Amino acid sequence: MHDVGTKTLRGQRVVLRRFTRNDAEAMFKNWASDPRVTETVTWHPHKDVNETKELLKIWVNDYKNPWTYRWAIETNEGTLIGSIDFVAFSEAHLSGEVGYCLAYDYWNQGYATEALNLLIGFMFEEVGLNRIEAKYLVVNPASKRVMEKVGMQFEGVHRQMYRIKGRTHDLGRYAIVKDDYEKNRR
């Protein structure tokens, strides 16, 4: 595994780049304060922009570590629309888990799929992972579709796995391994 850190990745419609502290206003406005976006994630909507600023201070500081992989998702026009990052790593097993969050106005338009494709390619080709997995709440089938579109394979459902905001949810799991990624590229 090669810990190269968060590098800028460019796609047809999105750019994945490091967050800066200057992103707080856009992040708060575009998704961090939106209860529709945070309905199926473990964190609550941010109450004010100061909460977003505090989080970004931590995230930006984390970039000092070469094993931090967290990107801002930005349109090619410069609009900040989400985040995508690795939330768990196993260097011993060359595997990791990805998570993503997107502004409501950009749902179901292929932005998350493009961002996840960019991240998968980077993590297999430059970092040297062998397996990437992602989880989704079963009540969020749009996230499941993103995983399927990038070639991830369904691995099962963990019944009543997560308790989020007072409700218990089933958790689906998808993964892709490097061999499948390389076959899909041919």
Which pLDDT tens digit goes with each residue over 3-34?
899 999 999 999 999 999 999 999 999 999 99
- Please report whether residue 43 resides in a domain: yes
Alpha helices (H) in the chain, listed in sequence order: 24-27, 35-38, 49-62, 111-122, 141-149, 178-185
* pLDDT given at position 166: 86
Q: What is the CATH number of the domain that holds 96?
A: 3.40.630.30
Taking residues 123-149, report their average pLDDT: 95
Given a cut of 80, whether residue 186 has pLDDT beyond it is no
- Domains of the chain: total: 1
Confidence of residue 1 (pLDDT cuts 50, 70, 90): confident
- Residues making up the chain, counted from first to last: 186
What local confidence, expressed as pLDDT, does residue 112 receive?
97
Q: Which pLDDT does position 118 carry in this prediction? A: 97
pLDDT at 164: 83
| Alpha-carbon gap, residue 89 to 127, rounded angstroms | 12
Is the overall model pTM greater than 0.85, yes or no?
yes
> Residue 75: which domain range?
9-131
**Does the residue 150 lie in any domain?**
no
